[in-house]
Amino acid sequence: MALPGGTLATYETIGIREDLSDVIYRIDPTEVPFLSAAKQETATAINHEWQIQTLAAAAANTQLEGGDASATAVTARTRRGNILQISGKWPRVTGSDQAVNVAGTGNEFENQELLKGLELKRDMELACVGLNVAKNAGADATARVTASVQSWIKTNTSKGVGGSDPAAADGTGTRTDGTQRAFTEVLLKTVLAGQYTSGGKAGKSTIFVGAFNKQAFSTFTGRATPMENTSTKKIVASVTAYDSDFGLLDIVPDLFMRSRDSLVLQMDLWAVAYLKGRKFVSSPLAKTGDSDWKQLLSEFCVMSRQEAGSAIVADLTTS
């Protein structure tokens, strides 16, 4: 049916107001599992140090009746340290942009500050578990770098062909990537046994994996086939915990970690140390023109309190 003559339609109307929703939609993930689970400490120097100690191996111990005492070898401590890294963001908005009426946010500068804060946390999570980097003390023209989790784990590891562990468990070296292979329960069980033998506690540990290997994990023994609950009309095909021979572990997907790794971390043995007064600091910067800006930063480092309590299954396929 044709439009009746003389009838005004929206196609000819001038001045129809813009219809723009006041809701801004974001899909980008902001969960930072490692930062959220790690303990926190306060650092007072750029090179944050701590001490670790291990007991002598158990041995047959028989003594003569009436025998003289003899000195037992002392149990020495080892000093470890990591370099504090500075990560920052700088939101900046012009005076005009703050004066206009913007849909979805009452104040564009505050909105940008919020977004940059979320981005900063994502960058820090990447620095902790998403990179394979050694510590670097930096220089006038070189930024300081904190050693990532991967550069500390040496005792309990599973690697692909050609892969190798850091030369020392002190953050000074990196892993050499090997040939990638499928994530299997056999690989996981091997490092869990090593973790237990080293004194680690699976019941206090979390398994961190990327998206692909989280799905691979859900096909391990006990969940190789999806289970259907007819009363709730729900199919369960995921695994959120793993009841191993040595304890119950949580499985957590982390979008910012190296997707080729599976980290088994006893979380009370890992921490993030923040320089005193430099944990997620927001500071206004001097105006140099018709705009306002702030500096958001954190100065932090990864702390491996005792790497032998954790493990890594490295060189996993990711697709």
For residue 71, what pLDDT is reported? 87
Among the ranges given (5-9, 114-118, 254-258), the one the predictor scored with the smallest mean pLDDT: 5-9
Bigger pLDDT: 49 or 29?
49
Q: Check if the beta carbon of residue 298 is closer than 8 Å to that of residue 275.
A: no
pLDDT tens, 218-244? 888 765 555 666 676 666 667 889 999
**CA angle at 116 for the pair 111 and 121, rounded to the nearest 5°:** 130
pLDDT bin (cut points 50, 70, 90) of residue 283 is very high
pLDDT tens, 67-86? 998 888 888 889 999 999 99
Q: What is the CA radius of gyration of the chain?
A: 27
Dump strand ranges (E) for the chain. 39-43, 47-53, 77-83, 85-89, 92-94, 157-158, 205-209, 227-229, 234-236, 241-244, 247-253, 262-266, 270-275, 281-284, 291-304, 311-313
Q: What span, in angstroms and rounded, lies between the C-alpha atoms of 122 and 292?
A: 24
For residue 21, what pLDDT is reported? 73
Q: What span, in angstroms and rounded, lies between the C-alpha atoms of 130 and 123?
A: 9
- Contact residues for 150 (Cβ-Cβ < 8 A; gap 6+): 129, 131, 132, 174, 175, 258, 261, 263, 312, 314
Q: 89: which strand partners?
A: 296
Q: Check if the beta carbon of residue 211 is closer than 8 Å to that of residue 218.
A: no
Bigger pLDDT: 264 or 69?
264
Mean pLDDT confidence for 22-26:
70
Judge whether residue 177 has pLDDT over 90: yes
pLDDT tens, 2-14? 888 877 777 887 8
For residue 253, what pLDDT is reported? 96
Query: pTM for the full model?
Result: 0.89
